[in-house]
Amino acid sequence: MANNFSLATSAEPEIATPLVSKLMLLMAGFILIGVAGGIYAQAIGHHHAFANTREMPWGMLIGTYAFFAIISTGLCLLAAISHIFGGNKLAPLGNRMVWLSIVAIMGAFTVIGLEIENPWRMPIGNIFFPNLTSNIWWMGTLYGMAVGFMFVEFYLILTKKYSAAIVLGVMGAVAEASANSNLGAVFASLGSRPFWYGSQLPIFFLASAFLSGASAIIVFTFSAHLLRRTKMNQTTFEGMQAAGKIMGLTLFLIGIATAWKFINALCGSEETILAARSLINGPLSITFWIFEIGIGLALPFALLMISRMHSIQAMSTAALMVLIGQFFSRFNLVAAGEIVPIYLGYDDLPTYLSYVPSAAEFSLVVGGIGVLGLGFLLGERFFGKAFDSHNNH
């Protein structure tokens, strides 16, 4: 068995069609838009470029970072499961999930790197001034470790060293799961924000990771076959069905968790009641009911139940709707936690603060999408054959 990797053994030249080339240019353009937005923010000041205020210091970009990071965690965990238990129906999707997990976390790093005012301080502070009591420090450290593990794992997959790849995959999955729960704890440990505070969010983020990861692999596997204009083989279709079952189960569980979150909030303090009502019938009600609940939970669950996961198109449509809903779920979570003033009732503060994302913030979201999209296309072009090599795991 050859251990030396060559692009000739994994690349698919036939996928380099004019359509794929145009899509790559489009995604590269998205990245440039994001970079331009980050440079603009550095030039005029982040407090001018972004719509955040002292009262609402976190906005859409924090939610977008969480969105991409949670997708990465879900893909990494599902890939590890598919590789550890070889021969299961998820196995045909495993190698592609490893690559997409790397690409998704790169999208997250792009967004947060362009969002923070002094990005160069992040690696310096992380390495030379560690704070072991900080959830954010642990989150960054663990995600960095996970990326390293996954890069090595993917190289081992390309060189067909599958036993070693499984070990690195497990290490990456542990790091990703720990980082994901720390991401939830960044919100959940803030006692000054009652709507976030509590032990539910870290577990909720892990459940969202499985939902987002299953949805992402369905969307991208279907897209990969559309690019090739080939019929999906039976084993890959069964892998998509397995991912669809995970998606359906987590939709049901997250629906229950969301209901209980609101039941508890409406029985809590004045701040939690107002935060919950901002989503139910307040300024965030449209993004909550239409996008997070309707498009993101109810409609895809109904579509999966009606189609019984026998239709590739139905599963892919449901998965795309879930990803849209998860994006708005992260936005709603961030906004609802801050929209009620901390000192409510003092100095004539309004019941709800105002926050509308700026054009610069939208540009960074576009940049993150570009990183994910270009990474997917490059993976299909240069590692496409490796994505089908799963029988020896």
| Confidence at 1, pLDDT banded by 50, 70, 90 | very low
Q: What is the pLDDT of residue 231?
A: 87
Residue matched to tokens 């570009």: 370
Q: What is the pLDDT of residue 8?
A: 66
Taking only the tens place, the pLDDT of each residue in 36-86 is 999 999 999 988 999 999 889 999 999 999 999 999 999 999 999 998 876
Choose the CATH number for 7-388 among 1.20.1630.10, 3.20.190.10, 1.10.10.10, 1.20.140.10.
1.20.1630.10
Q: Is 25 exposed, middle or buried (0-12, 13-18, 19+ CB in 10 A)?
A: exposed
Residues with Cβ within 8 Å of 383's Cβ and at least 6 positions away in sequence, in order, are: 10, 11, 95, 99, 158
Domain boundaries, the chain: 7-388
Q: What is the pLDDT of residue 348?
A: 77
| Confidence at 392, pLDDT banded by 50, 70, 90 | low
Q: What is the mean pLDDT of the chain?
A: 92
Taking only the tens place, the pLDDT of each residue in 205-258 is 999 999 999 999 999 999 999 998 888 999 999 999 999 999 999 999 999 999
Evaluate if pTM is beyond 0.75.
Answer: yes
Please tell me the distance from the alpha carbon of residue 382 to that of residue 385, in angstroms, as a whole number.
8
Taking only the tens place, the pLDDT of each residue in 314-369 is 999 999 999 999 999 999 999 999 999 988 777 778 889 999 999 999 999 999 99
Region 358-385: mean pLDDT is 95
Taking only the tens place, the pLDDT of each residue in 175-194 is 999 999 999 999 999 888 99
Please tell me the distance from the alpha carbon of residue 69 to that of residue 108, in angstroms, as a whole number.
6
